[in-house]
Amino acid sequence: MSVGCLGADNLARPFALAAWRSPDHPALVCDGVALSYAALLEQALRTGAGVAALRKDATPPRVALSLGNRAELPALFFGIVAAGGIVGLFDPKWSAAQTAAALDTFRPDLHLTTETAAAWIAAQPADWSIPAVDAKTPFLVGFTSGTTGRPKAFIRNQGSWLATLEASRVEFGIGPDDIVLVPGPLVHGLGLYGAVEGLSAGATIRVQPKFDAADAAAQLTECGVTTLVLVPTMLVGILDAAERHGRRFPALRRVVCSGAKLAPAVHDRLAALCPDAAVLEYYGASELSFVSLRSSREGAPADSVGRPFHGVELSLRDDVGNPVERGRPGTVWVRSGMLSDGYLGTTDGAGYRERDGWGTVGDYGWIDGEGWLRLVGRAGDMVITGGLNVYPAEVEAALRAHPAVAEAVVFGLPDPYWGDALSAVVWWRGSRRASLAELRGWCQERLEAYKAPRRVFAAADMPLTGSGKIARGDVREQAKGGGLEVVE
Q: How far is CA 382 from CA 181, 302, 328, 386, 412, in A?
A: 36, 22, 17, 13, 9
Residue 17: band (very low, low, confident or very high) from pLDDT cuts 50, 70, 90: very high
Residue 352 backbone dihedrals phi, psi, to 5 degrees: -75, 135
Is residue 13 one of the residues assigned to a domain?
yes
Is residue 350 one of the residues assigned to a domain?
yes
* Whether 152 and 296 share a structural domain: yes
Give the per-residue pLDDT at 3: 55
- Look at the chain and report how many structural domains it folds into: 2
d(CA 136, CA 80): 15
Is residue 97 one of the residues assigned to a domain?
yes
Give the per-residue pLDDT at 317: 95
**Structural domain that includes position 63:** 3-367
* Whether 359 and 434 share a structural domain: no
Q: pTM of the full predicted structure?
A: 0.85
Boundary (domain end) residue, out of 367, 401, 420: 367
* Whether 464 and 317 share a structural domain: no
Is residue 376 one of the residues assigned to a domain?
no
HEC string of 286-319 equals: CCCEEEEEEECCCCCCCCCCCEECCCCEEEEECC
Is residue 374 one of the residues assigned to a domain?
no
Residue 451 backbone dihedrals phi, psi, to 5 degrees: -90, 5
d(CA 186, CA 68): 7
* Cα–Cα nearest to 409, from 397, 418, 401: 397
* Whether 83 and 133 share a structural domain: yes
Element (H, E) at 333: strand 330-335
Boundary (domain end) residue, out of 335, 367, 399: 367
pLDDT (tens digit, 9 = 90+) per residue, 263-292?
Answer: 888 999 999 999 999 999 999 999 999 999
132 versus 383: the higher-pLDDT residue is 383
* Whether 351 and 388 share a structural domain: no
Question: Roughly how many angstroms between the first and final C-alpha of the chain, as a whole number?
Answer: 67
Give the per-residue pLDDT at 165: 97
pLDDT (tens digit, 9 = 90+) per residue, 289-328?
Answer: 999 999 999 989 988 999 999 999 999 999 889 999 998 9
* Whether 73 and 151 share a structural domain: yes
Task: Please tell me the least confidently modeled range out of 140-144, 317-321, 430-434, 464-468.
Answer: 464-468
Residue 148: band (very low, low, confident or very high) from pLDDT cuts 50, 70, 90: very low
* Whether 478 and 358 share a structural domain: no
Is residue 375 one of the residues assigned to a domain?
no
Q: What type of residue is 215?
A: D
User: Using alpha carbons only, what angle is made at residue 159 by residues 26 and 87, rounded to the nearest 5 degrees?
Assistant: 65
CATH number at 389 reads 3.30.300.30
Boundary (domain end) residue, out of 300, 335, 367: 367
* Whether 427 and 321 share a structural domain: no
Residue 379: band (very low, low, confident or very high) from pLDDT cuts 50, 70, 90: low
Give the per-residue pLDDT at 46: 95
d(CA 183, CA 389): 37
pLDDT (tens digit, 9 = 90+) per residue, 34-43?
Answer: 999 999 999 9
Residue 94: band (very low, low, confident or very high) from pLDDT cuts 50, 70, 90: confident
CB atoms closer than 10 angstroms to residue 41: 25
pLDDT mean across residues, the chain: 90
**pLDDT score of 149 more than 50:** no
* Cα–Cα nearest to 424, from 439, 404, 442, 402: 439
* Whether 345 and 416 share a structural domain: no
* Whether 213 and 274 share a structural domain: yes
Strand, coil or helix: 79: helix
**pLDDT score of 346 more than 80:** no
pLDDT (tens digit, 9 = 90+) per residue, 26-59?
Answer: 999 999 899 999 999 999 999 999 999 998 887 8
CATH number at 286 reads 3.40.50.12780
